[in-house]
Amino acid sequence: MKKRAAHIVVLVCIGLGCVAGIALSQPPQVGGDAAEAHQLTRTATTIDVSKIYGKIQIVKSFPDYKVQVVDSFPDLRVQIVNSFPDKSGKWQIVNSFPDFKIQIVDSFPDFKIKYVSSFPGKE
């Protein structure tokens, strides 16, 4: 009986050690302000928004970029066109064969856009 109890204790200790090892191997969870600060450093500094033009497909999942539509301080001014989306900020909305897939989000965008009727391009 003592041998079986010792065997169970050893197995429980090994199990707890595995759980503790898994917990310690996970990266720490970052709270709100730090996550927002990280997001701010990532936006528009690593993406050359002037090269995002052409045929654009609006998607709900698996986008190339997440974009927030704003009224002020955009990273890119976007003009929706029906043909010749050949300059920075000119987007032709399509349903298939896009150059870029864009998801419209309310928070944590990769960059921000503003819809304009003239003078598209990088802000």
| Beta strand residue intervals within the chain, DSSP E | 54-58, 65-69, 76-80, 90-93, 100-104, 111-115, 121-122
Task: Judge whether 97 lies within some domain.
Answer: yes
Task: Judge whether 39 lies within some domain.
Answer: no
In the chain, the number of structural domains is 1
Task: Judge whether 66 lies within some domain.
Answer: yes
Task: Judge whether 116 lies within some domain.
Answer: yes
Domain with 75 in it? 48-122
| The model scores a pTM over 0.95 | no
Task: Judge whether 19 lies within some domain.
Answer: no
CA distance 95 to 101: 10
- pLDDT per residue, tens digit, the chain (123 aa), is 556 656 565 555 565 555 555 555 555 554 444 444 444 444 445 889 999 999 999 999 999 999 999 999 999 999 999 999 999 999 999 999 999 999 999 999 999 999 999 999 997
Task: Judge whether 98 lies within some domain.
Answer: yes
Question: What's the confidence (pLDDT) of residue 114?
Answer: 97
Task: Judge whether 55 lies within some domain.
Answer: yes
Task: Judge whether 52 lies within some domain.
Answer: yes
**Residue 123, both tokens:** 């802000």
